[in-house]
Amino acid sequence: MSTTTDSPRHASLPLMVLGHGRELATERGVECPGELPAPSDPGLVERARAAKAALGNSVFVLGHHYQRDEVIEFADVTGDSFKLAKDAAARPDAQHIVFCGVHFMAESADILTSDEQQVILPDLAAGCSMADMAAISQVEDAWDDLVDAGVADDVIPVTYMNSSAAIKGFTGRHGGTVCTSSNAKTALAWAFGRRGGLEGTGKVLFLPDQHLGRNTAVRELGLSLDDCVVFDPHKPNGGLTREELQAARMILWRGHCSVHGRFSLEAVHEARATIPDVKVIVHPECRYEVVEAADEVGSTEKIIKTIAAAPAGTKWVVGTELNLVRRLATQFPDQEIAFLEKNVCYCSTMNRIDLPHLVWALESLVAGRTVNRIEVDPDVAHWARVALDQMLALPGETSKD
Ligand code: SF4
């Protein structure tokens, strides 16, 4: 399945009940065909073990940090999305890559692995709301707006890993790069460097997470909040005047993570008021004011490493996905680890991948059927690979999410 289907100019993405109906224009995917085992089936763990044993080295199961424990238990390797895609590419003997994560991650794995390897997403409804916020037709329209405003020649697009293959392909075609939450500063510095550096007139179109773009540009590169404008794809010309586009250095796409975007400044204040000596650590997909108020900011890999390296007795409140925070609390019992915001829940689309879907995908392979294969259109994959290779050529580390 490819995610390259276009929709009309400035069309809203239709809301859809997850797992029902077909909506090929979005990251949300389609319902799974076939008979899934019941979640209440007491034999699910045994069935998953038996199927995995039967498949041996021909299957490689990847588990993103935000996955449920019941799924992580069967992962051959865990990590962030980019690390997992690279892990898959390093296992050419594995004919089937079962990606326990969300759709854009499986697409990246398909792009980075060989044609002989098949990438499987156990539930096609496991999309990403942030990636959904930038449809390729909207981004192509936005580029036309930048051309009309006379600024497109100054603009380098940079897209976050959390975007569809079509958006990565757009970025590759327009001489840009992909970035992760670990190397966003390096990627932005590279992009501005292509247009005369920070002192020049260059601009970055940052997709699709406005918060990561703003946090990086202002906190790490020294640009001001006034240098940033937000391009709203649902408004004509992004809701911006020609003068605003000409003056801007960072054109931030109006997208956000529906989990990290919910952490609030009030929650940071409440944690500091109720937990003496607490350290607040958050992901850079959080809003600017939340990141500014935190003690530490970093990708999931950085959050894990920072907590692992802290002395016993350290008190943390953590602003990232709840499955990971709970696992960290179990993994490091000598530290006090709490979740930052009581009103924030799991990433609902990540949680679409559960044991029944994993068992169904594995048992189907045992029966000789590949279900829910993710296959990126070859032309899209080519240009997305150009943008990914550009990221790999950036100096510094490239782990993300
Ligand atoms: S946590 Fe946010 S960015 Fe990550 S998959 Fe869920 S919605 Fe997307």
What digits encode the pLDDT tens for the residues 119-157?
Answer: 999 999 999 999 999 999 999 999 999 999 999 999 999
Confidence of residue 343 (pLDDT cuts 50, 70, 90): confident
Q: Per the annotation, does 64 bind a ligand?
A: yes
Can you give the pLDDT at residue 5?
Answer: 35
Asked if residue 215 and residue 186 are part of one domain, the reply reads yes
- Pair 275, 160 in one domain: no
The mean pLDDT of the chain is 90
Residue 372 assigned ligand-binding role: no
Distance in angstroms (rounded) separating the CA atoms of residues 65 and 350: 10
Give the pLDDT score at 279.
98
Task: Give the single-character DSSP code of 58.
Answer: G
Q: How confident is the model at residue 397 (pLDDT cuts 50, 70, 90)?
A: very low
Give the phi and the psi of residue 91 in degrees, each rounded to 5: -120, 65
Same domain, 88 and 156: no
Q: From the CA of 128, give the closest atom in ligand 1.
A: 8
Kindly list the strands in the beta sheet with 177-179, ordered across the sheet, starting from the edge strand earlier in the chain: 177-179, 155-160, 203-207, 250-253, 228-231
Alpha-carbon distance of 189 to 9, in angstroms, equals 31
According to the annotation, is 285 in a ligand binding site?
yes
CB 398 within 8 A of CB 302: no
Q: Are the CB atoms for 282 and 319 separated by under 8 Å?
A: yes
Position 24 in a domain: no
CA distance linking residue 395 with residue 389, whole number of Å: 12
Reported as a single tens digit per residue, the pLDDT across 371-389 is: 999 999 999 999 999 999 9
Strands 155-160 and 203-207: parallel
Q: Other C-beta atoms within 10 Å of 201: how many?
A: 12
Instruction: Specify the 3-state DSSP secondary structure of 352.
Output: helix
Residue 4 falls inside a structural domain? no
**pLDDT at residue 29, as a whole number:** 53
211 is in an annotated binding site: no
- Asked if the structure places residue 11 within a domain, the reply is no
The pLDDT of residue 28: 55
Q: Tokens standing for 342?
A: 């009581």
Closest among 353, 355, 325 to 341, alpha carbons compared: 325
The answer to whether residue 360 sits within a structural domain is yes
User: Residue 388, SS3?
Assistant: helix
Which residues lie with the beta carbon below 6 Å from any ligand 1 atom?
A: 66, 102, 128-130, 162, 257-260, 321, 347, 349-350
Same domain (yes/no): 287, 249: no
Q: Which among 180, 258, 339 is the best mutation to test ligand 1's pocket, defined by most ligand atoms within 8 Å of the CB? A: 258
Q: Which atom of ligand 1 is nearest to the CA of 130?
A: 8
148 lies in some domain: yes
Q: Quick one: CA dihedral 39, 43, 49, 52, positive or negative?
A: negative
Instruction: Count the Cβ atoms, other than its own, within 10 Å of residue 321.
Output: 26
pLDDT in tens, 183-233: 999 999 999 999 988 888 899 999 999 999 999 999 999 999 999 999 999
> Cα of 126 to ligand 1 centre, how many Å?
10
Are both 140 and 254 inside the same structural domain?
yes
Q: What is the pLDDT of residues 231-263, one digit of tens each?
A: 999 999 999 999 999 999 999 999 999 999 999
- Does 237 appear as a known binding residue? no
pLDDT band at residue 2 under the 50/70/90 scheme: very low
How close are the terminal C-alpha atoms of the chain, in Å? 24
Quote the number of domains for the chain. 3
- Convert the pLDDT of each residue in 315-332 to its tens digit: 999 999 999 999 999 999
User: Is residue 377 domain-resident?
Assistant: no
| Ligand 1 center from residue 323 Cα (angstroms) | 12
The reply to whether 14 sits in an annotated binding site is no
Query: For residue 109, what are the domain limits?
Result: 32-127+349-370
pLDDT at residue 200, rounded to an integer: 86
Strand partners, 156: 204
Helix (H) or strand (E) holding 61: strand 59-64
Q: How far, in Å, is the centroid of ligand 1 from the Cα of 82?
A: 14
* Ligand 1, atom nearest to 257 Cα: 2
Residue 126's DSSP bridge partners are none
**d(CA 130, ligand 1 centre) in Å:** 6
Same domain, 284 and 361: no
In a domain, 13, yes or no: no
Which of the pair, 9 or 275, is modelled with greater confidence? 275
Distance from the CA of 131 to the center of ligand 1, in angstroms? 8
Q: From the CA of 257, how far away is ligand 1's center (Å)? A: 5
Among 257, 303, 346, say which to mutate for ligand 1: greatest number of ligand atoms within 8 Å of CB. 257
From the CA of 285, how far away is ligand 1's center (Å)? 9
Say if residue 33's pLDDT is above 90.
no
Contacts of 273-280 with CB under 8 Å at 24 or more apart are 275/315, 275/317, 275/336, 275/338, 276/315, 277/315, 278/315, 278/316, 278/317, 279/310, 279/314, 279/315, 279/316, 279/317, 280/316, 280/317, 280/319, 280/340
Residue 213 lies in a domain: yes
- CATH code assigned at 87: 3.40.50.10800
- Model confidence at 100, in pLDDT bands (50, 70, 90)? very high
For residue 88, what pLDDT is reported? 87
Give the model's pLDDT for residue 266: 95
Q: CA nearest 126: which of 19, 204, 4?
A: 19
Higher pLDDT, 198 or 25: 198
What are 401's two structure tokens? 């999410």
Residue 7, pLDDT above cutoff 80: no
The pTM score is 0.89
Give the SS3 label for residue 72: helix
DSSP secondary structure string for all residues of 282-295: E-TTS-HHHHHH-S
Query: In the Cβ-directed half-sphere of 299, how many Cα atoms lie within 13 Å?
Result: 24
Question: Is 257 marked as binding a ligand?
Answer: yes
Same domain, 83 and 169: no
Report angle CA 209, 177, 381 to the nearest 5 degrees: 100
